[in-house]
């Protein structure tokens, strides 16, 4: 394959900037952090994004959607996301004619200045965030919690919200209150996968650790961006094992050449953790030897194909 032109920037959490075919596509839009965020963070705000053609949102939680309204105000971007994502953005003043509501099953043509791409939307699952408090490291084995009803899950989510509202430090709580403006108690709005066909290859984007096995199996992307946080969700039930095992199971189904992780930095201290990716790397070597785990830093314009 000749020298590729597609590049990928990581903005932290599950947000990436994809440049291809003369297009700038944001994958999620959550860039601004709580002021107590530990360690390095991208030295940029959503308000600083002045050129963007599309914003693709994996689901409607604040840590994926917050900031999209400012990017939309500063650019001519079109937003693609769930109906709940569109509802939140409309409540924040984004015109409906600049948004494409999707639920899975749609294919969208993306025309850039120097070429074309397309993206197929697929239904997915959110991680089982209701099953834990603070996140664990990826080698932590979790069992149980099978068959938990919708009502029980909502009760546990209420407990998690109470924990976050009382146990996090004031800077994190203030950030939560600001970033959840426009949201309501409607959950994630339906998590989505995005499969991009680009001039250089095929890219899968997932922003949370969950999937439908029948949907994910045999997609065969060249590069897969996979969520690596929380407890994995397999067909509506929490994994009986570790996050590292969950990621490796997904890679075994997809068989990409390259894997890139997302959502694995310490984006909300007191809830998130600075993830040690070593157990994930070791499990990938064991289950799918030969697949590359590409670790990227913030805003590095990585060439991801070839």
What's the predicted TM-score (pTM) here?
A: 0.96
Distance, CA of 283 to CA of 193 (rounded, Å): 23
Q: What pLDDT score does 38 carry?
A: 56
* Structural domains of the chain ordered from first start: 7-129+181-303 (3.60.15.10)
DSSP string, 176-211: HHHHTTT--SSTTS--EEEEEEETTEEEEE--SSEE
| Closest to 209 measured CA to CA, from 223, 235, 229, 188 | 229
SS3 per-residue string spanning 245-274: HHHHHHHHHHCCCEEEEECCCCCCECCECC
Q: What pLDDT score does 113 carry?
A: 79
DSSP SS3 for 139: coil
Pairing of strands 210-211, 201-205: unpaired
106, 43 Cβ separation under 8 angstroms: no
**If pLDDT is split at 50, 70 and 90, which confidence band does 169 have?**
confident
108, 119 Cβ separation under 8 angstroms: yes
pLDDT above 90 (res 234): yes
Q: What's the pLDDT tens digit per position in 58-72?
A: 999 999 999 999 999
> What does the pLDDT average to over 10-25?
96
> What does the pLDDT average to over 152-169?
90
**If pLDDT is split at 50, 70 and 90, which confidence band does 171 have?**
confident
DSSP SS3 for 10: strand
């Amino acid at each position: 394959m000749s020298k590729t032109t597609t590049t990928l920037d990581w903005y932290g959490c599950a947000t990436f900037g994809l440049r291809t075919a003369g297009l700038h596509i944001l994958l999620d839009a959550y860039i601004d952090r709580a002021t107590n965020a530990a360690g390095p963070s991208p030295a940029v705000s959503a308000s600083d994004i002045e050129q963007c053609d599309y914003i693709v949102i994996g689901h409607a939680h604040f840590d994926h959607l917050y900031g999209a309204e400012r990017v939309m105000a500063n650019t001519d971007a079109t937003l693609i996301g769930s109906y709940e994502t569109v509802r939140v953005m409309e409540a924040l003043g984004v015109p409906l004619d600049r948004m494409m509501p999707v639920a899975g099953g749609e294919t969208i043509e993306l025309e850039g200045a120097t070429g074309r791409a397309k993206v197929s939307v697929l239904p997915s699952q959110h991680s089982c965030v209701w099953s834990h408090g603070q996140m664990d490291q990826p080698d932590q084995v979790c069992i149980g919690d099978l068959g938990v009803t919708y009502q029980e899950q909502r009760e546990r989510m209420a407990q998690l919200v109470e924990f976050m509202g009382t146990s996090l430090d004031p800077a994190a709580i203030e950030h939560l209150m600001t970033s959840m403006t426009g949201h309501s108690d409607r959950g994630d709005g339906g998590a989505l996968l995005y499969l991009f066909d680009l001039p250089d290859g095929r890219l899968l984007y997932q922003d949370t650790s969950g999937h439908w096995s029948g949907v994910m199996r045999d997609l065969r992307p060249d590069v897969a961006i996979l969520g690596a946080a929380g407890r994995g969700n397999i067909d509506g039930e929490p994994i009986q094992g570790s996050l590292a095992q969950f990621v490796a199971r997904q890679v075994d189904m997809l068989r990409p050449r390259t894997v890139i992780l997302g959502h694995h930095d310490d984006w909300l201290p007191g809830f998130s953790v600075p993830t040690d990716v070593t157990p994930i790397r070791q499990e990938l070597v064991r289950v799918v030897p030969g697949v590359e785990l590409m670790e990227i830093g913030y805003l590095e314009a990585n060439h991801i194909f070839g």
